Amino acid sequence: MPLSRYACIALVSAAALLFQVAQTRLFSSSYGYHLTYLVISVSLLGVGSGATLSGVFDRRSRRPSLSALALAAAASALAALFLETHIDPGVALPAAILVAYVAGALPFVFASWIVVRSLREAPSRAGRLYSVDLAGAAAGSLFAFAALPSLGAPGLYGVSACLSALAAVVIAGPRLRPVVGVVSAFALTVALTLNGDAMAPRTSGRGVVSQFHRPGVRRSTTGRGLHAP
């Protein structure tokens, strides 16, 4: 088995755990801490569904490639970020939870599909594949807890999508690099846009107000700002 397959598994596993930590934070703030347990059931649903889909479709001649599955994981992470941040749970909480539940399971579906297919195609290397899977998941968890204070939950969604896109590059080679580059750039743009307020430097309102009281400074009657002699 080529090294690119091991790298792909490590990257999608890290992306899945990053996504799970980000969902935990987002669910806690959006739906309340008492519903955060849904993240565990969402991930289990996705992992089980991915294994089932692998068993059904991987035996067919026309099946999705590993690079397509990795790109689907990246796209679904961004879709989950958009849906979970734009549906107001205060208006229709059951509908918001249902949408978040379905959207949040998709990245796990595609990551699980990649891992299960690899295990089925190389059962003699199951130990190595599983160890790489666990190592990637552990690395993703550690990075998530270290980066959460600075990036926030939306930022982790973007990083998760970028890791899945990178996995597609690793497993597909130069053929999909332009597509993956666009997906990665879009992921970072979405993450930075939604998380801009958290990442911007904090400014004190007192400093702005104090400008009106600084000696020699008067306020423009046109409302265009401050003028000093």
CATH of residue 158's domain is: 1.20.1250.20
Residue 180 lies in a domain: yes
pLDDT of 226 reads: 42
pLDDT confidence tier of residue 155, bands split at 50, 70 and 90: confident
Least confident of 114-128, 134-148, 187-201: 187-201
Q: Which residue has the higher pLDDT, 140 or 227?
A: 140
Task: Tell me, yes or no, whether 226 lies in a domain.
Answer: no
Residue 197's pLDDT is 47
Is residue 140 situated within a structural domain?
Answer: yes
Q: Domain count for the chain, please give it.
A: 1
For position 225, what pLDDT does the model report? 47
Residue 128: per-residue pLDDT: 92
Residue 211 is assigned to a structural domain of this protein: no
- The 10s digit of each residue's pLDDT in 6-40 is 999 999 999 999 999 998 888 887 777 777 778 88
152 assigned to some structural domain? yes
Q: Is the pLDDT of residue 229 over 70?
A: no
Confirm whether 9 is domain-assigned.
yes
User: Does the residue 61 lie in any domain?
Assistant: yes
Q: Which domain holds residue 79?
A: 3-199
Closest C-alpha among 100, 128, 129, 106 to residue 116: 129
pLDDT, one tens digit per residue, over 213-225 is: 445 545 444 444 4
pLDDT tens-digit series, residues 96-105:
888 888 999 9
Residue 215 inside a domain? The answer is: no
Q: Give pLDDT, residue 110.
A: 96
